[in-house]
Structure 1
Amino acid sequence: MNIKEKIEALRNSLREHNHNYYVLDNPTISDYEFDIMLKELQDLEDQHPEFHDATSPTLRVGGGITKYFETVAHEHRMYSLENSYSKEDLEDWEKRIQKNLGDVPVEFTCELKYDGASISLTYEKGQLMRAVTRGDGFQGDDVTTNIKTIKSVPLRLKGDYPEKFDIRGEIVLPFEGFAKMNQERLENGEDPYMNPRNTASGSLKLQDSALVAQRPLECLLYSIVGPNLNISSQFEVLEKARSWGFKVPTVAEVCKSTDEVMAFVEYWDVHRHELPYETDGVVVKVNNLQYQDELGYTAKSPRWAMAYKFKAEQVSTLLNEITYQVGRTGAITPVANLNPVLLAGTTVKRASLHNADQIAKLDIREGDTVFVEKGGEIIPKIIGVDFSKRPADSSPTVYIDHCPECHTKLERTEGDAKHYCTNYYGCPPQITGRIQHYISRKAMDIEGLGGETVELLFKEGLIENYADLYVLNKEQVMPLERMAEKSAENLVKGVAKSVEIPFERVLFALGIRFVGETVAKKLAKAYKNIDALMSASYDELMSVDEIGQVIAASVIEFFQNEKNIEIIERLKSYGVQFELSAEKLENQTELLKGSTFVVSGVFEKVSRDELKKLIEDNGGKVGSSISSKTSYLVAGDKMGPSKRTKAEGLNIPIISEDDFLEMLQ
C-alpha cells in the first residue's frame, strides 16, 4: 500500500468510526485506539501536504480563526413556523389545508422541536461546502469553519445522495455536556452558562474554531431542500438523510389524524424530560412533499407545517415598577420591572405589559406579585396577579398622559390600543429608533454600527437622522466611548458599503409606518423607483396588491412631510439605491397585469417556483386557493381533482403549462 492509499484508508476508517460513535451512539473501538489512528493520519498529512482533503477527519480538531463572519444569502429561504397551543388550533390548520388541497387524505409527520441554533448545511457531490446560520431567514452568517468541528456533521456523505442540496437542522448542546461545561467553569471561578440553547448559539460565532471543537455540540437534522431530490414524503426525508450519514432523531411518527397528532404531543409533553436535549414542542408537517408544494408559504411561514408548543413554564415574582418605553413610531410600551426570576433557563427581569387596556384588564399594579410565563417560551409576559399577596395600601395604575422622554401630550386614536407621542422629529427615542431601524440587518445591514453607538452619535450631536450617517468620518467617531481607530474605520466603511443595498430594502429601512419587508417589496415592484412612489395617489396605492387603506394613508403622509423628502434627496446624493436594479427589471413586463393565477400539480418545462416567478415578473398575481377572483388555473400533472371541480364550477379557465408559456410570447 503506497502513502496515498494508506492516507485514504485511514480517513475512511476514521470516518466510519466517527459515524458509529457520534451519530449511531455505537462505538466499535476505544477512544484510545481512535486517537492513535487520528495521530497517525495527522503525521502522514503533515509529511504529505500534496494529499490535502478538505473533508479529512483531522480537521475536526479546529484551529481556524474567523475574525469576521461573512453574510451569505440563503439559496432557499429559511422560514419560521406558525405556533399552535391547542387541539383547536391544529384542527383549524387542518381545515385550511383541506380547503386548499380539496378532499384528499392527508397524513402528518410529527417530530420533536429541538431547542437549539438553526443551521443550513449545503452539500455538493456529497461534500460539505458551506454552513450558514438562520439569520433573518433570507441571509445568515457563514460559520463553516466552526461547524466542521462538530463530530456529528458529516464532511463527506455516503449512499445515493442528490448532486446538490441544503439540509436544515439545529445545533444543540446535550444536558450532560452542558452540565460538564458548567462544572468546569465553576471550578475555574467563572460564572456558569445560563442555558444550553444560548450556549450552543454563542458557540457558532466563536472566532477560534479550536474552542468550538472542545464543546460537546451535536447537529440534529430534519429538513432537505433542493431540486431533483427524488423524495416523496417528509418521513422519507428523515430516513434518506439518516442513510447518507446525518444524525437524524429517531423520534418521528406518521399520523393519519389530529387525534393521532395530539396523542403524540401528549406522550412527549410528559416523556420529553427523559431526552438528552432541550425540546419545547412538536413540529407537525404535511407528510406528502407534493402537497407541501401545493400549499406553499405565507409571507413568513410554510402553510404545510405547524409547531405545537408545550405548555409554557410559569413563575411568580414581584413587580417593582412600571416604566414606559418610546418606540421609533412614537408608540408607548409599558414595561414591568421585576424581581429577577429564573424562567425556562433564562433570568427574567422585565416583561412587556403591551398597553393601557391590558394593564386595566388584569388590574396590574406596582407592588403586586405577578405570574410570568414565556409566550412560546421566548418573550416573557405577565398573565395574571396573585391578589392574595396584594399590599393593603395598593392603588390602581394610572397610565401616563405625557411622553416620558420629551413630555409631549400623548394621543390615542379610536380603535388603536396604543398611546403615541406625536413629537416625531423632537423626541430622542423616536429619532434614534428610526436610525437603529435603518441600520438593522433586514434593512441596510450596516456592519460596525450598533444601537448603542447610534445613541452615542446622537447624544454627541453628530447625527440627527439616518442621512447624517453618510457624512461621518473616522476622526469624528474615534473619540466616542469604546471606539478605537479600527472600529471607527469599520463603521465608516460599513456606512459606505450600504449604498449597495437594493431598493426594496432601502424602502423598508426608511421606516414608513406599516411598511414592513413584504409591503416594501410589493411597492418597490409596483413603482420601480422612489419618485414614482412619491407621486402616487391614494387610489393608485390602493390598487397595488395587498395595499389597504391604512398603508396607503401612511405612505401618503410620509411623503407629504418636507423633512422626509429632504432626507431622501440627501440619501440619493450619497448614492443610496432608490430604484430597482437593471437585473431586477430584466424580463419584467405588465403582460399579466390584473390577472390572478392559481398553480397546481407537477410541471415539466419549469418548476412550480419558476412558474410563480414568471407570473409575478410579468405583472400577475399568484393566488393560494381558487376563488371567484381567480383568472386562470394553471394545471400540471397530478393536480388534485377538487381544484379542477371548483374551477369548473366557477367557470375559471383551466390552462396547461404550454398554454401559460404561450401567453408570455
Structure 2
Amino acid sequence: MSVADEDEENPYLREPSTDFRSVEELSEDEAREQVELLREAIREHDRRYYVESDPVIADRTYDALFARLRDLEDAFDLSHPDSPTRSVGGEPLEAFETVEHVAPMLSIDQSGEEEDVREFADRVRREVGAVQYVCEPKFDGVSMEFVYENGSLERAATRGDGREGDDVTRNARTIGSVPQKLHGDYPDFLAVRGEVYMPKDAFQAHNRERIERGEDPFANPRNATAGTIRQLDPSVVADRPLEVFFFDVLEASDLEDSHSAELERFPEWGLRVTDHVEFAADIDEAIDYRDRMLEARDDLNYEIDGTVIKVDDREAREELGRTARHDRYAFAYKFPARAEVTPIVDVAVQVGRTGRLTPVALLEPVDVGGVTVSRASLHNPDEIEEKNVNIGDTVRVQRAGDVIPYVEEVVEKSSEGHYELPDHCPVCDSPVERDGPIAFCTGGLACDAQLRRSIEYYAGDDGLDLEGLGEKSVRQLVDAGLLESVADLYELDREDLTDLEGWGETSAENVISEIEASREPPLAAFLSALGIPHVGPTTARELAREFGTFEAFREAAENDLERLEDVPDVGETVAEQLHEFFASEANAAAVDDLLEHVSPQESDLESGGDELEGQTFVFTGSLEGLTRSEAQETVEAHGANATGSVSGNTDYLVVGDNPGQTKRDDAAANDVPIVDEDEFRELLAERGIDLE
C-alpha cells in the first residue's frame, strides 16, 4: 500500500502533526495503538529515505515521531525487537556468538586482466550456452548475511569463513538502511547477502572528528566499516555512519527465476540496491560496463574496487555449480589500484599534547607502495604555502621512510590559493599562536585534546606506566567529566569507574591500585611523565642524576638556564623548553596540583655496573618491597633496558600483585619468561645486585 493510500489510516505518514498529548494522559490501549501507527509510519519513512531516496517529511519531523515512539515504549514497556527504536543500540556484549549461515557465502573468481574475464565467459558458454549477464559494482565493504522470517529481521552475521560467521544482529539493527521489518509481498523466509559500507563523505567527516579528538583515523572506509560492525557495544555502531546495499538471495521460500527479477523485488521489500546495475547481452557489454564504472568510480559516494559479472538465469547458475570456495556463475573484474596521485577531500587539524597544530590532508584512498593511504601530513603552514596546497587539489603522496605519508606536490590545481590554519583551536576554540613555522593552541590543559594526551602520556610507557589507563579508557574518563586535570587521577575511586560502561570490579580495582602505587614515583619517571617537550625518559634520567630532587630541578628550570644547559642530553634548546614550561601559569598550576597527591622520590641514580647489559625487562602489577619505577631504575642502572610493553626482544616479564592481563598474554605469545617478585630478586642476587 502506498503512502497516499494509507493517509487516512495512518496520520503519521504525510504532513503528520507532532503536537502530541502528554504520555501521562494516554491509556495503555491508546498508547499501544499509537505505537503501532508510529512504527508503521517510521518504517515507511525509512524506506522512502534509504531505498527510494525520496523522503516525504522533514528530518526534524521524523526525529519528533521517533522520539514520541521511544517515549511511549519506555513509559508503557512496549519495546519489541522489530521496533525502529532498536536502532539506537543497547547494552554491550561480552562476545559474539558464532552462527552457521543458511547457505554458503562463497567468494568468486577475480582478476584485473581482460583475458581472464573472457576465459570465464568461454567456460560459461561451453557449459550452459549463451546467457545474459547482470553487471554490478564490486563494493569494497563488509559482506554480511541478513535473515528474515515472516518479514522480521531475525539475524545478521558476518561472512566469517563462508560457512560460519559472527552474530552481529544487534549491531545491524542500528544501521538505518537495514529494515527491521520487510514491506510488501515478501517471502515467508528470506536470507539475503548485503554489503555494509561507510559512505566516502561520512568516512572523511568521521576521520576528521577522530583526528581532532586526538584519535587515530581509520586507513580507509572498509577498515572503518569492519572495525565498527564488530564493536561489542551497539551504541558505538549506532553513532557511526554505516549504510548497506543488498545484492543477492542466499535462500528463500519462494525463489525468482532470475537474479534480475530478485533485484527488482528488493526495493518493494524495503531492501536497498545500487542504481548502477545493468544487463549485458554478452561479455563485450560486460567489459564495457566495467570500463565505464572505472571512469565513474571517483564520482560515487562509496568505494568500489571493480565490477561483478553474474549469470542472470538461476537455472543456469545451478548448472554451473560451485567449487569449495567459489560460485562459478560469477566473476569479478577488478580495477587497478590507485597509485600515488589522489585528490584532497578535506583538511583536519590535529592538536598534540603540547598544543601544536598539525594539518592532516584527508585523501581519497590511494595505493602508495602497496599500502592504502587515506591521510597525509601537510607538516606546517609554511610548507602548505610553499606547495600551494588546498582542499580539492590533486596531489602526489609519498611515504617518508616507507612509514609516514606526506604530500609531495600538487599535480593538478583545482582550488584558489592555499589552505590556511584556523585562527582558533578546532577543539577548544582558544586562540592559535605562531612560533615561526609552527602553530600552537593556547588553551593548555583547558583544551580537551591536550588534556587527554597529557593524561595518556603521564600514564603511558614513557610516564608512570599505569596499566589500564590507555587511550580508550582515558578518553572515557575525560568525556565522563571525571578527569579535568592530570591530578584528578588521584581523586578517582572504585565506584567512579564501576559506574562507567565496560568497567568491572576487577578492572576498576586494578587501575586504582596502579594509581595508588604511583604516589611516590622515582624522580626520573615523574619528570618524564610531565610531558615537557623534548624531555623523554633518557633526558629525565640525566636531570634526575644532576639535581637529585624535584625542588632543585624546578629551581634551576625557573631561574638557572646555564646550569640546565650543562646537563648531558639537555643543551640550550631543551633548557629553554624547560624554562618556558614552568613559566606557563597553567603548567605551573597543573604541576602544583599534582604535587598535592604525588611525592617524587629523591634520586640516587648512579651507574651500578653492567651486570644486566643487553637484557630487557618489563614490569606489571605492584611490587611489595619497592615501586615498579624503582625496580625499572635499578635494572637500568645495571645496564638493562626497562620498557613498557612486551615484545620478542623482552627477556623477562616481572609480575607483581594485580598484574595486567595484556602483558601476560603478550609474554605467552612471545615465549617470554614470567617471573614473580621473589624470582626477580633471586635473579638480581645471582648477579650480585641487592635491591635492599
Report the TM-score, using the length of structure 1 for normalisation: 0.49
- Structure whose CA Rg is larger: 2
